[in-house]
Amino acid sequence: MFKSTNNKALHPLMLAGTGSDVGKSIIATALCRIFRQNGYRPAPFKAQNMALNSYVTADGLEIGRAQAVQAEAAGIPCEADMNPILLKPQSDHTSQVVLLGKPIGNKNAYDYWRHEGKEELRKEVHAAFDRLSQRFNPIVMEGAGSIAELNLRDTDLVNMPMARYADARVILVADIDRGGVFASAYGSIMLQDEEDRKRIKGIIINKFRGDMRLFEEGRRMLEDVCGVPVLGVIPFMKDIHIDEEDSVDLKIKDEALAQQKEKNDRVCVKVIRLPYISNFTDFNALGRDPRVVLSYTDKADELRQADIIILPGTKSTINDLCWLHQSGMAEAILRAHRDGKTILGICGGYQMMGQTIADPDGIEGSVASMPGLGLLPIHTTMLPEKRTQQVTFHFEGHECHGYEIHQGVSNTDQPIIQSDHCVGTYIHGILDNQPFVDFLLRPFADRIGDHHETIDYQVYKQQQYDLLADRVRQYLDMDALYSILHL
């Protein structure tokens, strides 16, 4: 195995993609861990991210969840410079723009992708990269979507223009599972101009299923037509669990997890899959608890199976509350409550469980106020200022940790509200705290007994980073990668 020390500088590395969801984030996470294991001090960087999964830094700034995960894998605290621009979709056409951890307003897609104001954003992105590169090496950069979107090239902040500024070595990530890997890899390279084409130094084939010996000839053919080496063919890693950037495969992932457990003595937890669900990583720890079978649903009749129903966070609370009523979910939740089921609301889900939601400034749209589900004695008002902070709180004698990201405020200072088998909180990550999970499952103690051994989720996550690094080392030519990156 290649050994290195942190006194030898490396070029920045950019993982660019043939498209969205090809696995750039997970490979970036693996490389952050590998570089750390090899004696370097890496840091992640994604100039612009579009995601509803976010995290709060120690100084109260908001970034994409993927970069927080990559920083954790690298063994360093996350910071806003790692993801200077975060776009949080609020509708099919509008996103909140978060710059260096603070929201600066909402933009529709047409206005955002025009030239006006882009150079100011570009300067901010470059400055963030410069600050990171003075303290860390290597910088593990991540592109966004496809690098071959010709119509967006002039306003692109995150892909090849960023690679040029950083003098990064670019590795193209292609997803073989979706098919068309030859065309997508070749097209992505050939559609670059000459300067950018030379910057692409290798290809990683990701999400391979089956016997890799069957692709040996394909690998050679891909190298011949693209003119760059294939540095690795990474298998589909469904047995390694890293927090996800977005909800593309959420339903598939959760169903696969649920099928691994016998249901007869487990607590059935249903998370409402809201249209604008955010921070669904809140439920990863609970989903790993051996006492629980957790799944997501957007169907009212499936709530009849649930012991616990969770209303998650959302980027558009009022819109998703309207959806609850239109879909029949609201009625099903209220019926489940009358039947004695436990209802848990987190952040936007907590707001929905209250008596009223007021939006006098039109933060979320044209609805000035709306009744909530009436399950908790709170009233919420949407305000222009977003609250983003890490929090420490005590629960049943234990110190617990989490973070808050929310636009509205409610008329209580209590971190957790309980009323008639309903629980609500603004705290994301609350289910990463074992005392709270034990409290939530306590009513079902007679069924689940004491024979299910729980896990320490923080230890579990570190184990997963190590497993991921081991797996990627096995299939990626790290010697060739270091040769590409050495200054």
pLDDT at 152 over 90: no
pLDDT at 260 over 70: no
Residue 320 falls within a domain, yes or no?
A: yes
Residue 387, in any domain of the structure? yes
232 plus 271 within the same structural domain: no
193 assigned to some structural domain:
yes
- What are the pLDDT digits (tens) for 366-404? 788 899 999 999 999 998 888 999 999 999 999 999 999
Which pLDDT value is given to residue 126? 97
Q: Are residues 65 and 156 in the same domain?
A: yes
In this structure, the answer to whether residues 331 and 364 fall within a common structural domain is: yes
Same domain, 70 and 205: yes
* Sheet of strand 230-235: strand arrangement: 43-45, 139-142, 13-17, 169-175, 200-208, 230-235
Is 325 one of the annotated active-site residues of the chain?
no
CA dihedral (90, 96, 98, 102) positive or negative: negative
CA distance 422 to 294: 18
227 and 346 assigned to the same domain: no
pLDDT band at 52 (very low <50, low <70, confident <90, very high): confident
pLDDT grade, residue 423 (50/70/90)?
A: very high
Structural domain contains residue 367: yes
- Residue 256's pLDDT is 44
Q: Round to whole Å and give the CA distance between 279 and 261.
A: 24
Look at residue 479 and tell me whether its pLDDT is greater than 90.
yes
* Sequence-ordered alpha helix ranges (H) in 58-157: 65-74, 109-112, 118-133
pLDDT at 323 over 70: yes
Pair (294, 428) in one structural domain = yes
- Strand pairing category for 13-17 and 139-142: parallel
- Give percent of the chain with pLDDT exceeding 70: 92
Tens digit of each residue's pLDDT (9 = 90 or more) over 79-115 = 999 999 999 887 777 888 999 999 988 777 666 767 6
Please say whether the beta carbons of 18 and 175 come within 8 A: yes
Residue 162's CATH number: 3.40.50.300
In a domain, 7, yes or no: no
pLDDT at 451: 60
Q: Is 428 a catalytic residue?
A: yes
Q: Which residues pair with 235 in a beta bridge?
A: 208
Same domain, 54 and 169: yes
What per-residue confidence (pLDDT) applies to 431? 96
Clarify whether residues 404 and 479 are in a common domain: no
pLDDT of residue 1: 37
Residue 109: the pLDDT is 63
Find which of 21-25, 71-75, 483-487 is predicted with most confidence, using mean pLDDT: 71-75
Give yes or no for a contact between 390 and 464, defined as CB atoms under 8 angstroms apart.
Answer: no
Number of domains present in the structure of the chain: 2
For 453, the token pair is 């051994």
| Residue 366 maps to a domain | yes
| Residue at 336 is within a domain | yes
pTM (global) more than 0.85: yes
What pLDDT, on a 0 to 100 scale, did the predictor assign at position 2?
38
What DSSP letter does each residue of 21-73 carry, written as one string? TSSHHHHHHHHHHHHHHTT-B-EEE-SEEE-S-EEE-TTS-EEEHHHHHHHHH
Given 32, 268, 347, 422, which residue is catalytic?
Answer: 347
pLDDT bracket for residue 212 (50, 70, 90):
confident
pLDDT (0 to 100) of residue 108 = 74
Mean pLDDT of 434-438: 94
Please check whether residue 258 lies inside any domain of the structure.
no
Residue with tokens 């011949």: 224
Q: Which amino acid is at 221?
A: M
Confidence at residue 4, expressed as pLDDT on a 0 to 100 scale: 44
* 395 and 284 fall within a common domain: yes
Examine the domain organization and report whether 230 and 360 are in the same domain: no
Cis previous bond, 138, omega within 30: yes
**What pLDDT, in 10s, does the model give residues 231-245?**
999 999 988 888 876
Least-confidence region, from 180-189, 209-218, 325-334, 452-461 = 452-461
For residue 478, report the phi and psi dihedrals to the nearest 5 degrees: -70, -30
Q: Report pLDDT digits (tens) over 339-372.
A: 999 999 999 999 999 999 999 888 887 788 899 9
Give the mean model confidence (pLDDT) for residues 212-223: 91
* Mean pLDDT taken over the chain: 90
Mark whether 287 and 428 lie in a shared domain.
yes
Give residue 366's domain range: 266-448
Strands 277-278 and 200-208, sheet pairing: unpaired
Domain CATH for 442: 3.40.50.880
User: Within this chain, do residues 126 and 48 fall inside the same structural domain, yes or no?
Assistant: yes
In 3-state terms, what secondary structure has residue 338?
A: helix
